[in-house]
């Protein structure tokens, strides 16, 4: 359910644009996570290379290499 390397979240691509979404309901957080990851695959080219994501319970964490992708994601989901 995540796309980042084994160095840990904080050590994976430091300096990239980062956003964190809090979802209070645990059931809703799984649904929201799936929706956002589907959106990333549909809207960001080569997303596995240019984005990182992590499901962390009630927190959904994302990192983007490019500011344009970060802003687009933030406008849609943030």
Would the pLDDT of 63 be above 90?
yes
Q: Residue 46 has what pLDDT?
A: 95
**Tens-digit pLDDT profile for residues 17-29:** 999 999 999 889 9
The predicted structure's pLDDT at residue 8? 82
The rounded distance, in Å, linking the Cα atoms of 21 and 74 is 10
pTM: 0.88
Residue 55 covered by a domain: yes
Structural domain includes residue 37: yes
Rounded-to-5 percentages of helix, strand, coil across the chain: 40, 25, 35
Q: From CA 42, how far away is CA 36, in angstroms rounded? A: 10
Q: What average pLDDT does this structure show over 9-13?
A: 85
Domain that holds residue 53: 17-77
In a domain, 12, yes or no: no
Note the helical H segments in the chain.
26-43, 47-50, 67-77
Does residue 73 sit within a domain? yes
Task: Specify if 8 maps to a domain.
Answer: no
Q: In total, how many domains does the chain have?
A: 1
- Inside any domain, residue 33: yes
Judge whether 5 lies within some domain. no
């Amino acid at each position: 359910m995540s796309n980042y390397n084994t160095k840990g979240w904080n050590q994976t691509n430091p300096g990239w644009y980062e956003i964190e979404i809090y979802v209070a309901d645990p059931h809703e957080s799984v649904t929201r996570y799936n929706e956002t990851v589907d959106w990333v695959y549909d809207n960001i080219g080569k997303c596995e290379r240019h984005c990182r994501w992590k499901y962390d319970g009630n927190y959904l964490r994302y990192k983007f290499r490019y500011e344009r992708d970060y802003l687009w994601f933030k406008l849609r989901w943030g």
